[in-house]
Structure formats: C-alpha cells, structure tokens
Structure 1
Amino acid sequence: MNRTFADRVGRVEPSATLAISNAAAELEADGVDVVDLSVGEPDFPTPENVVAAGKQALDDDHTGYTPSSGIPELKRAVAEKFADDGLSYDTDQIIVTPGGKQGLFETFMTLLDDDDEVVLLDPAWVSYEAMAKLAGADISRVDLTPHEFQLEPALEQLAATVTDDTTMLVVNSPSNPSGAVFSDAALEGVRDIAVDHDVTVVSDEIYQRIAYDEEPTSLGSLDGMANRTVTLNGFSKAYSMTGWRLGYVGMPGSMAEQAGKIHGHSVSCAVNFVQHAGVEALKNTDEPVVEMREAFRERRDMLLDLFADHGKEVPHPDGAFYMMLPVDEDDTAWCEGAIEEAHVATVPGSAFGTPGYARLSYAASEERLREGVARLAEHGYL
C-alpha cells in the first residue's frame, strides 16, 4: 500500500537524546554494562511525600477527567509559585499540561504560522527546533559557543538577529544542554530587544530550582516583560517526577484561552491524581529539592576536576545537571565511538546546534561518573 505522509513530519528528525538513550538500552539488553550519561532525568526517587499524595489521590478516587486547564488547587499553587518569582499570572492564564514539553508544544502551535521567525540561542534543546518546524516557522540562531555559552557577551549579535519580523525568541536558563545560567544583565538585554521589536519571549524555566550559586531571575518579572513573556515550568526536574508527566505554562493576556483549544483537542487534561501530587510538591517539598541540588553540585565539581586532570577545560555549568565536553570536530562520530568502544553514552553537541561538543548528564552516581571518565580516558576519548 502506498502511503503519503504529511509534509510536517518530514521537516523533523527523531529526538537525538532519545535515540542515544535507546541505543544504550539496546546494548544493556544484550548484557553490556553502559555508563549512560545521556539521560535528562534526575537519578533520585520522587520525594516520599509526593508519592504518598499521589497514592492518596488514587484512594480518594481522583481518577476521572479534570477541568481541561487543571484542577483549581494546583492552578492556585502554581499562581502562588509564579508570584514568588515576581510573575503575575492569574489562574485563567495558566494551563497545567502532561509534561513541560506539551506546554511548549501548545505555545509554539498557538503563536507560530508558516514562515514566522523563531530565534534560538545555541546550544538549544533539541525539541525547540522540531516544534518550530512542525509549526512551519523559520529559525534563526545566535551562537553562544564563543562565549562559553553565556548570553551577555552575545547581546550585540542577538540585537542584530532579532528584527521587527521576528515572532518568537526562546530563552532557556538554566540551560539544557550547557548548564549556563544567564545573568540579570543578559536578561535585561533580552528585555530591551524584545520590547524594541515587539517580540514574544518563551522563557523555559524547567531547571529553575537546580542552580548552584545564584537563584535565576524569571524573565517575565522584568519591567516591560509581563505582557510578552510565556513562562514554562514543571515538576520533572526539580522534583524528580519525569514519568509523572506534569508541567505548567503561564501565558499573558488571553493567550491561554487560545492555547487551551489545542490543549483540549489533543490531551484533554493532565492526569487527575498526578495533579494532586503536584500540589504537594509545590507546597511541601523544599528539603528534598535542596538535597538533590547539592548532590548535583558535588558531582559537577568532581567531574570538572576529573576532566582537568586529563587536560580538558570544560565550560563551567552553573545550573541544571549537564555539561558540554569539548570533543572532536565530528562530534557525532566521537559519541558513536564512545558508546561502541568505551560503552559510555553521551549526546552529540550538533544535536543542540553546537558541533564539536558532547553533552554529558551528571544525573548518575559519583561511582558511575568516575567509571565513565575512566573508560573515556582508557579508550582515547579524552
């Protein structure tokens, strides 16, 4: 049977991060011991109080549909969390989504038409480009690599890239994949550019709670940004709830009403009992978040020291749980060799728009991280 597929699916490739994870899983299924440094999820269990809240919600029969945009208790908790960050989103401007990725997808589909321009800051999380292409948009890129992934030194380039024809600028701080946390001066520069050109900014703050030295500033809290910033956050990273699939997005004006159409016709609502667990996470789970963040800090420092011992200077990540390791110019071949020979899984930097690097996740035990570095050194990859 001949089958013709929609043009939109031909615009995108499968997720590179998931492809590496799948390759690692196949090797492990064959009995190979793989040090998997490709995964984008914390290696900590979901906090016990959150699990208990989810179980209680099941016992209380919270298993049916909810209001499409989320249960009122969770939306109020999210609004309070946003307010603590200096953001002003009413509950009717908030959509609770099954994972942060769905919130981003709904935002892209709501705001972008064919040939609209989206500006990305490289390295950029792999799905931004895919979502923009699925919406039919064009992409312009600003390379932060020469500045060790910091935005402030690249503001002049960003100002030259964003024009009156730009529809959307995506900012991710703390960053996946670099771990960079953008300074207030950098975000103020973004604000000035966005206001000058009347651009909507999507601020992906999913790693907000995993920052090591200074608490990141929410872009929408800056003067002039409240009515032009979409703020994305969720539970997967901060609360180690990746498989629970729960996120949320705050949208200015009546945007949530429009995005709600896509939400309602695609996923209907986030899972009922999971939303109740989300309320518990936001209200009563600070201590486990701090403990996890401190463990990530110790692992980061250990890895930086280990790579320095092998003569590798790695840009210093200030948040998230990733770092970008400088590797060969053909980073894809380097990563393929590393998993095949050293059995260490990493993600090519070219997947994020930054060739010549490999993204490492340090969401693994110190023992496994040391083993991974030792294997890379033993097989000539450092």
Structure 2
Amino acid sequence: MTNGVSNYLSYTAKELKPSPIRKFFDLAASMEGVISLGVGEPDFITPWNVREATILSIEQGFTSYTANAGLLELREEISAYLQRGFNVDYNPVNQIIVTVGASEAIDLAFRAIVNPGDEVLIVEPSFVSYAPLVALAGGTPIPVSTSPANGFKITAEQIEAAITEKTKAILICSPNNPTGTALTRKELEEIARTVEKHDLIVVMDEIYAELTYDEEFTSFAAIDGMYDRTILINGFSKGFAMTGWRLGFLAAPAEFVGHMLKIHQYTTMCAPHMLQHGAIEALRNSYHEVESMRNSYRRRRNYVVDTLNNIGLDCHVPGGAFYVFPSIKATGLSSEQFAEKLLMEEKVAVVPGNAFGESGEGYIRCSYATSMEQLQEALKRMQRFVERRVGAVVK
C-alpha cells in the first residue's frame, strides 16, 4: 500500500470516535484497589436455572444454527412476555427477531429505516452507541438535550422544536442510560401526539423496562396510535443479569421486521442456539430472581442518591435502570477532570458525563450495580475527594 492504510478507509470509519467509556475502564483495569462504578452491568450472576438450561442444551447437542429470527419457541415466549408484562401483542412468527444483544437490534432498526440525509433525533444524555449507529446507517444524528431542572425528562415541546423537514425518526431510552430517568405514561402520551403530528418512527430502547422503581413501566408501543410507529428494543442483559450472553430482541410491525431480518441474515445469521435455550428458561422460570434484583437495586439507589446529595453533589432520584447522574459543578472541575482525578487520587472509577453528549458536561455517571459494601467505601472516598475540591474552590 503505497499511500498508507488511511487512504483506503471510509470517511465514516475515520470520523467515528472510539467509545469514550473505554478510556476509563482500561485505565482502571491497570490499577490495583480500584472500585468501579463505571460498568453498566449487573453485579448479579445469571440465575442458576438459566445457566443449567444452557449447559443441558449443549449436552443435548443444540449447537447448530437456528432460524434467522431465532427459535420459534423463544419468540413465542418473548411474545407472551410482552403481552403479559406490557400489554403489547406481537406475532412470534413475523414480528419478533432475536438479536445478538439489544445493540444489534438498534443497528438493524437504523439500517432498515434511514436513508442518506435523514435526521434521527437522539435524546441526550444518551448511551454512547446511538449517534454512531445512526451515522453508520448513513443518517444524521441530531441531539436533543434534556435538563436537570425536570430530572432530564424529554418533553414534547423539545422534540417539536428539533424537528425539521429531514427528521425521520427519534430514539428514546426509558428508563434512560445514563440518567436513570423513566418517563410516565402521561409524558409518553404527550410525546406520542408530536410523533403522530410529524409522521415519525420511534426506536424505543426499553432494555431497562424490568428495572423501574416508583411507577409501573409503560411500553411506548402500548400508547394509542404508536404500535405501528414503534420499533421496540429489549433484551435479557439488564433485567435478567445476562450481559455477556449478548441476547436481545426487537418487536415491530411485520413489514419493518421483514426488512430488518434481511440485514440480520447477512450480517449475523442468528443468535447462538444454546443461549436461546437459556433465554427461554429465563422468561419461563426466573421472574422471582428479577424481582429480587430489582428490590436490591432500589435499596442501593436510595442510599446512593441520599449520600451524594449529603456530600454536596446534587443528584435527582432516577426512576429506573441502575445509574445516578450527579452534578459535579460545585468542584470547579470538568467531567473528565473529575473522573480522572477521582480515579488517580481515590481509586474510584466513574464515567464523565460528556461521554453521553454535550449536555452531560458537568455530571458523572455512577452505576450502583455493585455491592452495598463497595458502594459505601466508594462514596467515602468520593466524599474525601469532593471536600478537598470544594474547599479549594471556596478558597
């Protein structure tokens, strides 16, 4: 290659930035004694009955490909799960695809609906992969920033103000990563009217649906008029403590699913056969485990929010997921400075808020998906750090 590799790369690949989260994870991994509040992953092990069912499936020789959309038996269980828990009906034959994680499901959604030049509204702060996946599909991600004044909740008015003649879709995550904000039915209904008015598609990331604490979860597809406009994203990673399994699913009207299935066929073929048996067991017989984990997260959330506010880091009460998103503005540090110095001085790893969009500057994301003992120690260290910094600012 006479001109070097760079000349052969696509513009999209060259402009794509690496995940900003990895920088802090990699640095923390190289240090001893670090308490990580950065990983968006349950600290619980996948329930034993799910692991056992998967082991048994391997022993029984279920190591081949499945149907591209996934085992029909699993899709039937997903359909029953969505109807039972969220009051939405999807035909397991042609309206559900089992994917390699919820991330693949989001990728499929964008690749199926986005044309070059289309704009997709991304509610920020947002998970780091959303905007890059829109760009990889040839679209233009448009951030719509939320405010701490109302707990980082997106409003219909904010969406209305961001819409242009090029707007094709909007991606919403509720409960949200990184803020933990959960939208109520009334708030979703108000958004739905704007979506209908402007003829938009909604990619709805509901991966944290099982982890809501104060109000009953409402699926956007269950809102009047939204079923035909919604591509529902969900999976097993968060609620069922199955992150490493990489099993997600999408549900949508059949015409959407048919086109997403074509892309899935060419890029992935199918999710691993034996892991799908584990997912069947999770949906049939693990809900008591989900309830136990949710109760534990609720207790931790309450402790972490109270403690952060007491040490001077303003923090709203998140309605779901397992993250808090406190303000660090009182320290006089930027989000990256705070995260770097906290890691180096006190060996606590958090994620700078600007990793989730410009509106996240001045905040950090802390995961409380770790033991209470670890949380208590981490917050003691953070208190020492904050007291030093705030004292320096005052002086």
Equivalent position SS for 2:97: strand
Q: Deviations over 1:211-255 (max 9, x none)?
A: 111121000011111111000000000110011110000022311
| 8 A Cα contact 2:192 2:223, kept in partner | yes
After TM superposition, give the deviation of residue 155 of structure 1 in Å: 2.3
In structure 1, the partner of 2:393 is none
Q: Given residue 226 of structure 2, which amino acid in structure 1 is its aligned partner? A: M
Cα distance in structure 2, aligned partners of 1:341 and 1:114: 46
| 8 A Cα contact 2:147 2:153, kept in partner | no
Pairing of 1:217-236 with structure 2 (within 5 A): 217-236=218-237
Cα distance in structure 2, aligned partners of 1:62 and 1:95: 19
In structure 2, the partner of 1:296 is 297
In structure 2, the partner of 1:48 is 48
Q: Deviations over 1:274-318 (max 9, x none)?
A: 001101111111111011111111111111221232133201111
Q: Residue 153 of structure 2: which of 151, 162, 168 is its match?
A: 151
After TM superposition, give the deviation of residue 78 of structure 1 in Å: 0.8
Cα distance in structure 2, aligned partners of 1:120 and 1:235: 23
Q: Which moved more, 1:327-336 or 1:236-245?
A: 327-336
1:347 counterpart = 2:348: no
| 8 A Cα contact 1:164 1:197, kept in partner | no
Cα distance in structure 2, aligned partners of 1:53 and 1:222: 36
Identity %: 35
Equivalent position SS for 2:12: helix
Q: Given residue 359 of structure 1, which amino acid in structure 2 is its aligned partner? A: R
Cα distance in structure 1, aligned partners of 2:194 and 2:15: 29
After TM superposition, give the deviation of residue 338 of structure 1 in Å: 1.3
1:248 counterpart = 2:252: no
In structure 2, the partner of 1:16 is 20
1:334 counterpart = 2:344: no
What is the root-mean-square deviation in Å for CA atoms of aligned residues?
1.4
After TM superposition, give the deviation of residue 136 of structure 1 in Å: 2.1
| 8 A Cα contact 1:163 1:197, kept in partner | no
Q: Given residue 108 of structure 1, which amino acid in structure 2 is its aligned partner? A: F
Cα distance in structure 2, aligned partners of 1:199 and 1:253: 17
| Cα 1:54–1:196 shift into 2, 3 Å | same
In structure 2, the partner of 1:277 is 278
1:105 counterpart = 2:116: no
After TM superposition, give the deviation of residue 46 of structure 1 in Å: 0.4
Cα distance in structure 2, aligned partners of 1:264 and 1:20: 35
| 8 A Cα contact 1:11 1:134, kept in partner | no
Cα distance in structure 1, aligned partners of 2:132 and 2:342: 26
Q: Which moved more, 1:355-364 or 1:8-17?
A: 8-17
1:374 counterpart = 2:380: yes
Q: Which moved more, 1:216-225 or 1:17-26?
A: 17-26
Equivalent position SS for 1:227: helix
| 8 A Cα contact 2:313 2:328, kept in partner | no
Q: Deviations over 1:55-98 (max 9, x none)?
A: 11111111111111100100111111122212122121111011
After TM superposition, give the deviation of residue 270 of structure 1 in Å: 0.2
| 8 A Cα contact 1:350 1:356, kept in partner | yes
Cα distance in structure 2, aligned partners of 1:285 and 1:239: 8
In structure 2, the partner of 1:63 is 63
Runs of 5+ in structure 1 lacking a partner? Answer: none
Cα distance in structure 1, aligned partners of 2:24 and 2:66: 35
| 8 A Cα contact 1:338 1:381, kept in partner | no
After TM superposition, give the deviation of residue 149 of structure 1 in Å: 3.3
| Cα 1:164–1:216 shift into 2, 3 Å | farther
1:170 counterpart = 2:206: no
In structure 2, the partner of 1:88 is 89
In structure 2, the partner of 1:359 is 365
Q: Given residue 41 of structure 2, which amino acid in structure 1 is its aligned partner? A: E
Cα distance in structure 1, aligned partners of 2:224 and 2:281: 31
After TM superposition, give the deviation of residue 114 of structure 1 in Å: 1.5
1:118 counterpart = 2:120: yes
After TM superposition, give the deviation of residue 162 of structure 1 in Å: 2.4
After TM superposition, give the deviation of residue 381 of structure 1 in Å: 5.4
Q: Given residue 363 of structure 1, which amino acid in structure 2 is its aligned partner? A: A
Cα distance in structure 2, aligned partners of 1:52 and 1:97: 22
Cα distance in structure 2, aligned partners of 1:305 and 1:361: 15
| Cα 1:285–1:49 shift into 2, 3 Å | same
Equivalent position SS for 2:169: strand
Q: Which moved more, 1:41-50 or 1:134-143?
A: 134-143
After TM superposition, give the deviation of residue 113 of structure 1 in Å: 1.8
| 8 A Cα contact 1:236 1:245, kept in partner | yes
How many residue pairs get aligned? The number is 377
| Cα 1:300–1:96 shift into 2, 3 Å | same
| 8 A Cα contact 1:325 1:358, kept in partner | yes
In structure 2, the partner of 1:198 is 199
Cα distance in structure 2, aligned partners of 1:86 and 1:164: 33
Cα distance in structure 2, aligned partners of 1:23 and 1:215: 39
